[in-house]
Every structure is written in structure tokens, then in C-alpha cells.
Amino acid sequence: MSVAEADNCPGVDLVVDPARAAEGAPAVAPKMALYLTDIPRAVAEYGQLVTMMPLRRALPAGDGHPVLVLPGLLAGDGSTWTLRRLLRRLGYQAHGWRLGLNVGPTAKAVGGMAARLDELHARYNAPVSLIGWSLGGIFARTLARRNPSAVRQVITLGSPFRMEDESQSRAARSFNLFAGLHAERPSLPLATENEPMPVPATAIYSRYDGMVAWQTCIDSQSERSENIAVLSSHIGYGHHPATVWAIADRLAQPLGTWTPFRPPAMLRPLFPRPVSGPRVSV
């Protein structure tokens, strides 16, 4: 944990450097204190977004390309409404998945997401940027691997795609309640994560995530992947000011280009130094 993180989070002890934690310490589910305060912190973060709305004009304008936002476990399009509204105001064609609550990889979800991606790709005649929140991010990465020509880039928000054991998430019990409905049940760790993404990928994570071990949300190192650290709760990813800025910045990259994220100097305290994941070969 950096000094900047400690300064922004009063009452949190400076215990260990994040790089050492990622390399040596086991990734475990968040402590109970983080889990129990996740929703209250998310509410406060929404207030921060409202307070900072006058600065919205400083966000880079969009080029009108389509964006598909996938919700997390037990959430639906209502949870991503704020983010999609902001993206539309920036000029993007932002859409929800229209599949109700996300209860896992059911046949309806797996087939519906693929059909939704194909629909948007054909409607706009352009590759679609995918934003996935938590479990939605795992879905987004899978969609991109299966349909790389239809995907412009993938942005994940607190998505534990590198999870090795269910004990690394406090949502495992909820996920397993619907296991009987799941059409797909990949074993952990996900074998696909041994290979780099076929499209640019940005993994946004927080060491103060109250739902999943933050180390499981970090992408492997490759030419077109990156990790961005924020100070968000898990429930607050979709409206945390730093997350919104990072998403807007990544979406604004011209098609076919890729440059690492660099926050503006005045916002650097909102972005702790990220941890690099293991390198994978192409």
C-alpha cells in the first residue's frame, strides 16, 4: 500500500507494499470490515461523483462507437444505468445487456450476450467496446476471446478472472445458488487466462474491494493489457469518479491505437501505483 493510498484512506494501516502482496502473499477474500462497509462506501462514492459532475466537461469526448456494459452477479441493467448515461453524454452509443439479473452463465445469458454483441456490431458496423463489472467482466473477456473481430477493447471493473479458488470471493455462495441453471462451469483457475487477450484490455481494480480478492482482478502483462488501481468499493465501481475518468480515457483512444493510461497530474492521488500481473507469452 502506497503512502498516497494511506493518506486517502484514514484509519487504514500501512501494512504491506502491494507489489510484495501480489508476488508473495496469498490472495484471500476481503476482510469482514471491507465487506460490511462496501455498500456505505459505494453510497459515499456516488456522492463524490455528483459533487464532481461540473468537471465532466474535462472528460475526453467520445467518437460515437458502440459500448456494451455487462452487470455483475445478481445485478441487472439498473446497476449500470449511471455509467451508461455518462457515456452517452460523452458521445458513445452505450447499451445494457437486456438479459435481466445476472445469475451466472445460464444458457440465456451465454447465448443472449453473444447475440447482443452481434446485434450491436452489425447495427453500427463497428467493433464494440465491452465493459464488464465483476462477473460481467469475466463474461466480457470470454466474449472477446470468442469474437475478437467484433470487439474493440475490454474494460473490467473488479472482475476476478484470475481467481484460483472460491474462497477468494465473498460472492461464491450466491453464485453457487444458481449452479443448477448454469450452462457453462469452467474450472478454476480459468485456463483461458494463460493466454493474452486478442484485443486491448484494461483491468480496473481496488485494494479496498469488499467482495473479491483484489489480486484476482489483475491482468497478465502483454503488449496491449494494463491494470489501473483506484480507491473504490466493489459496489461503487460503476460510479466512482476515478473509474469513470479511466473508462472515458480508455474509450477515447482512436481505433487501432493503444497507449498506456496516464492520469492527469491533478488526479494522480486518485490512482495508486498499479501492480503488474505475471507475464504471459504470445
What residue spans define the domains of the chain?
Answer: 32-252
Pairing of strands 225-230, 201-206: parallel
pLDDT (tens digit per residue) in 3-28: 344 444 443 433 333 434 444 567 99
Window from 61-75, 92-106, 214-228, 266-280 with minimum mean pLDDT: 266-280
Please state, in angstroms and rounded to a whole number, the distance separating the CA atoms of residues 15 and 22. Answer: 13
Q: Is pLDDT at 66 greater than 70 in this prediction? A: yes
Residue 14 pLDDT: 34
CB burial string 109-123: b at 16+ within 10 A, e below: bbeebeebbeebbee
What pLDDT, on the 0 to 100 scale, is given for residue 194? 87
Rg (CA), the chain: 17
Fold that domain 32-252 belongs to in CATH: Rossmann fold (3.40.50)
CB-count burial class (<10 Å; 0-12, 13-18, 19+) for 6: middle
Average pLDDT of span 160-186 = 95
Tell me the helix, strand and coil percentages in the chain, rounded to 5: 45, 15, 45
pTM for the whole structure: 0.89
> Would you say residue 281 has pLDDT above 90?
no
CB atoms under 10 Å from CB of 257, counted, come to 7
Q: Read off the pLDDT band of 134 (50, 70, 90).
A: very high
Phi, psi of 206 (to 5 degrees): -140, 135
Grid cell, residue 47, equals 456522492
The rounded distance, in Å, linking the Cα atoms of 273 and 236 is 20
Kindly provide the b/e burial profile for residues 194-220, where b requires at least 16 CB atoms within 10 angstroms of the residue's own CB.
eebbebbbbbbbbbbbbbbbbbbbbbb
